[in-house]
Structure 1
Amino acid sequence: MKELKLICALIVTTLVFLSCEKDSKTDEGAAYFGGEVVNPKNNFVILSKSENVLDTIRLDENNRFLYKVDHVEKGLYTFRLWASEGLEYQMVLLEPNDSLLFRLNTLEFDESLVYTGNGAKKNNYLIDLFLDGEAEDKTILGFSQLPPVEFERLLDSIRNHKLMRLKQFNSKNPSSDTFNNLVKGNINYDYYLSKEVYPFVNYGNTERANFNDLPDDFYDYRKDIDYNYCELMDYFPYYSFLKHHFENLALSEHFKKSDDSVFDLKSLNYNLIKLNLIDSLMVNDSIKNSLLVQTAVEFISNSKNTDDYDLVLQSYTAKNTNKKNHQYVTNMVNSLKGLKAGQRLPEITVLNYNNNELSLNKIINKPTVVYFWSSAYRSHNDSHRKATELKIKYPEVDFIAINANAKNVTNWKKQLSQFNYSKHDEFMFKEPEIAKHKLAISPINKVMIIDQDGKIVNAHTNMFSIMFEEELLGLLNK
């Protein structure tokens, strides 16, 4: 669940914000939102509603804050703050006359989050629903290895239990339609999501065989899908469902037109079908654009066939209405075309721990793995741990880490000390935005393999791929 939450957060907050046109932009009444942050990593909290950052609110000397939202628009808001593993965020439901306070410890962000005050019960309910979902994910993954009829029976029992629990909650705490629609939407779209991913996570057969084994009514709920669910537009379970829903639909259509039997994320035909389906079914332009850009970026990031990039870009461009996203994807395609195997890296200047400016090309003088990170994304700890393991197994290979988002040398050095990272093989870009564009750094945890002559072997790989060590062995055996 946290991984899905992170994925959605990166897509939604980095590339495009979701929003829904409404007849009334505000509701009568104000709401108060505040809290106390234990072990703060910075002295501010960012509060947003859809695409609008309402304010950056500073903590006082007791690490507390209180903020008034005038003429509050009922619905989900987002608050962000720096925690132990980077920038964290969580959703909060605010309605007129709420006076809501939270307390959290940045060392255990979601698990420590507790609300008090008017509006607390509904938000504590939402947090419990989120935390229960993390354990539930593992249970459902186990269920997913069962035959479809048995899987469906157990999944139905989980949804019915949740709906009964909501009914019991409302009998003691009568709640608004906004809250009930939000919770029911969460329950239903989590249920739908589990059924959408079933053919992909059942290990008994290939995806094609799994599709063929499904009962005829397995996806009957699709007639109830709302592709313009305004109250859930900013809620990551809904976006997560849509992402996997379109993967499922596209793969089903792809199998009808090909002899493939397994899911291939790098298939051109599959990705073109997926773009067409998103365009034909999604109603809201903002979330449509977000799904379109994610599909295009995932394909371009995973495929090594640069000849296919233009076909995906052409299809994407015809459907997308977000100019910023279009420029992003276009720049990514152009950059990756310049990072073909056998070419040298473009000229990039990096800074080392001693503040010396160095050419990235000149610090590479043996087989090298270059990996990127940012403290804003918790995956940086996993990347460094993996690199440490690989250094021991492959001492002939250099491992260079570059903080792709760092703009302040002092803060970067503090982060190295905070996470206990080596000072000798860590660097930051002198000009981060230019460097990220030239090296097509998306996603942030991308990895590059460079040979001893400074030529690119693979400009877009992944240290966690089962094929990564084979790539290293191939490099060393050249």
Structure 2
Amino acid sequence: MKRLIIALVALSIFACKQEPKVDYAVITGKIENSKAKKAIVKNAEFNAEIAINEDGTFADTLRIPENGFYTMSIGREFTPIHLGFNDILNISLDANKFDETINYTGEGAIENNYLAAKTLSNVKATANEAELYSLGEDDFKSKISEIKTANETLLNGLTNADETFISSEKQNLVYDNYALLNKYEQGHAYFTKQKDFKVSENFIPTELKDMVFDDSKAYKSSSSYKDIAFSKVLTGVFENLGDDISSVTTDDLKDVSDIKIPALKNDVIDYLSSFLVSPSNENMESVYNFFINHSTNEDTKEKLTKTFEKNKNLIKGKPSPQFVNYENHKGGELSLTDLKGKYVYVDVWATWCGPCIREIPSLKEVEKKFHSENIEFVSTSIDQAKDHSKWVSMVKDKDLGGVQLMADNDWSSKFVKDYGIQGIPRFILIDPNGNIVSADAPRPSDPKLVELLEKELKMQP
């Protein structure tokens, strides 16, 4: 008998081990009036693409890490979505009226139709931002309280909804309210044109003022919690960084080290690295290593490394990439080596670039100030060959000074690629020996340019 019992227990254990774990949700659906080729479902720790067929239909099995809140994006539109193990969810919508038409059927539909109704309600209630944020403090609080009450009514009216979903969403509605309160000061200042507007002392609830951002679950479940956390952390970081990011050190980034939520830390690093892992920062390498050591997101690390490898040869003192035989508006051709012995301030621009053209008056002023100094101002157009005559005319019509060149192959010019230029205007300062002073120098409209040039040219203040 004892042996039989042992055998039955062993068989039971074996059977349990063989039972497959359900870790997926099935999503099917059809989208009308869309040319999108894929839908993206993601949260802080998950990212999946679902192929959309030519007729707008789609179907996939997603191995999700947990029951919870995700975001589904189709083209430029997105919507919150809740997925659970064993969900078999069918979605229908018209891309021309995305929020108004999205509808769910099947297992998981109750929770998701609520989220769709909530999203549409919120969009309508906050559509007129100028009107909303121009309200006085009391009226604004009253308005967003109405929004919260309407959503609570929707939530409380659900039957047979997942209890964990209900509990999480009740807290999410609190975060939604906090997020609107958090945006009020900036929004009111902007729409009422009161640049120095500050909310009254008691406007922000104590709970929001004292909120500690250490809830990884809330960061995934609530876009509002995520927005507040990201905003609060960045505010603290920028207070440490100050206005000058040309010499940011790892000590200035101590607040990043203290972030408790891994996904939040990854998002902050991803954002900050876009401009701090830059040749304009003299401490680029140590900052890069700091970000690599603190990030747990492999995609972010890969992007960081690519950026660093591209920029590491563009720091101050490195030999500058060369441009060779660029067409000179005054006739002939010019290479960077022809200007050796002088500082060279390069303005990379194009005739179609509004921000570039807005810098022209300031550039003329800087040229005038330094006209007798050992510096050459070189404006390099990256217009396409078909716009050559437009470049010729604009240089003449706007009476552009300095040396006016046209790159040999617009965005694909070797000089442009070697400097990693992805947006213009871009300004570069090179010393008389052909070495980089700044691969991302201040704009002519920035007073820091005059300070930099006076320092390099050793001019008396």
Q: Say whether the fold is shared (TM-score over 0.5).
A: yes
Tell me which residue corresponds to 2:227.
240
Once the two structures are superposed, residues 161-218 of structure 1 have per-residue CA deviations (whole angstroms, 9 ceiling, x without a partner) of 22211222134333434544554455433443455556666475769xx59x745975
Query: For the structure 1 residues 65 and 297, does the alpha-carbon distance in structure 2 shift closer, same or farther, using more than 3 Å as the test?
Result: closer
Question: Within 1, Cα distance between the matches of 2:211 and 2:320?
Answer: 50
The answer on whether the counterparts of 1:78 and 1:91 sit within 8 Å (CA) in structure 2 is yes
CA deviations 1:66-115 (Å, max 9, x no partner) are 335578943234444446xxxx654422344453313233xx58556622
Rounded Cα–Cα distance in structure 1 between residues aligned with 2:263 and 2:379: 44
Question: Given the superposition, is the C-alpha separation of residues 272 and 195 from structure 1 closer, same or farther in structure 2, using an over 3 Å criterion?
Answer: farther
| Root-mean-square deviation over aligned CA pairs | 5.5
Listed as ranges, the gaps of 5+ residues in structure 2 are: 1-19, 324-334, 338-344, 364-377, 385-407, 454-461
2:35 counterpart SS class? coil
The separation in 2 between residues aligned to 1:321 and 1:238, in whole angstroms, is 21
Aligned: 1:131 with 2:123: yes
1:369–1:449 CA contact under 8 A, matched in 2: yes
The TM-score with structure 1 as length reference comes to 0.55
Matches within 5 A, 1:61-210: 62-69=55-62, 73-82=66-75, 89-95=78-84, 96-105=86-95, 110=98, 114-118=102-106, 119=109, 121-129=113-121, 131-132=123-124, 135=127, 137-139=129-131, 141-142=133-134, 151=137, 153-174=138-159, 175-181=161-167, 183-196=169-182, 202=189
Kindly name which structure, 1 or 2, has the bigger radius of gyration based on alpha carbons: 2
1:244 CA displacement: 1.0
Distance 1:279 1:370, change over 3 A: same
- 1-side partners of 2:299 and 2:63: how far apart? 31
Listed one character per residue, the Cα deviations across residues 289-333 of structure 1 (whole Å, up to 9, x for unaligned) are 3323423434445x94x3343564465455444566456446545
Letter in 1 for 2:103: Y
Indicate yes or no: 2:348 matched with 1:369: yes
In the other structure, the counterpart of 2:39 is 45
Aligned counterpart, 1:380: none
Q: Hey, what does 2:53 align to over in structure 1?
A: 59
1:449 and 2:427 aligned: yes
TM-score, with length taken from structure 2: 0.57
- How many pairs were matched up? 368
Change (3 A) 1:297 1:181: farther
Residues 101/240 of structure 1: CA separation in 2 closer, same or farther (3 Å cut): same
Which amino acid in the other structure matches residue 131 of structure 1? Answer: V
Contact 2:29/2:90 (CA < 8 Å) preserved in 1?
A: yes
Query: Could you say if the C-alpha distance between residues 428 and 117 of structure 1 is closer, same or farther in structure 2, counting changes exceeding 3 Å?
Result: farther
Q: Secondary structure at the match of 2:127?
A: helix
C-alpha separation in 1, matches of 2:184 and 2:311: 34
Post-superposition CA distance 1:222-261 (Å, at most 9, x none) = 4454522415426544332222111334467x59xxxxxx
Equivalent residue for 2:341? none
> Is contact 1:345–1:361 with CA below 8 Å preserved after alignment?
no
Change (3 A) 1:289 1:391: closer
Q: Does 1:400 align with 2:388?
A: no
CA contact (8 A) 2:144 2:180 kept: no
User: Which secondary structure state, in structure 1, belongs to the residue aligned with residue 245 of structure 2?
Assistant: coil
**Are 2:287 and 1:309 equivalent residues in the alignment?**
no
**Separation in structure 2 between the aligned mates of residue 425 and residue 197 of structure 1, nearest angstrom:** 45
Q: Which residue of 1 aligns with 2:258?
A: 280
Task: Tell me: CA distance 1:167–1:26, structure 2 relative to 1, closer, same or farther (3 Å).
Answer: farther
Q: Does 1:221 pair with 2:200? A: no
Q: Secondary structure at the match of 1:233?
A: helix
2: CA distance, partners of 1:185 / 1:384: 49
Give the Cα separation in 1 of the matches to 2:101 and 2:438. 42
CA distance in 2: counterparts of 1:194 and 1:385, whole angstroms: 36
* Equivalent residue number for residue 414 of structure 1: none
Report sequence identity in percent: 13
Greater relative contact order (CA < 8 Å, ≥ 6 in sequence): 1
Give distance in 2, aligned partners of 1:216 and 1:171: 28
Instruction: Write the distance in 2 (CA, Å) between the matches of 1:461 and 1:45.
Output: 40
Partner of 1:8: none
CA contact (8 A) 2:277 2:285 kept: no
Structure 2 residue matching 1:167: 3-state secondary structure = helix
2:217 corresponds, among 224, 230, 235, to 230
Unaligned runs of 5+ in 1: 1-24, 144-149, 256-262, 349-359, 372-382, 403-423
With over 3 angstroms needed to count, the CA separation of the structure-2 counterparts of 1:278 and 1:121, relative to structure 1, is: same
AA aligned opposite 1:167: E
* 2:382 counterpart letter in structure 1: I
Report SS of the residue matched to 1:76.
strand
Amino acid at match of 1:161: E
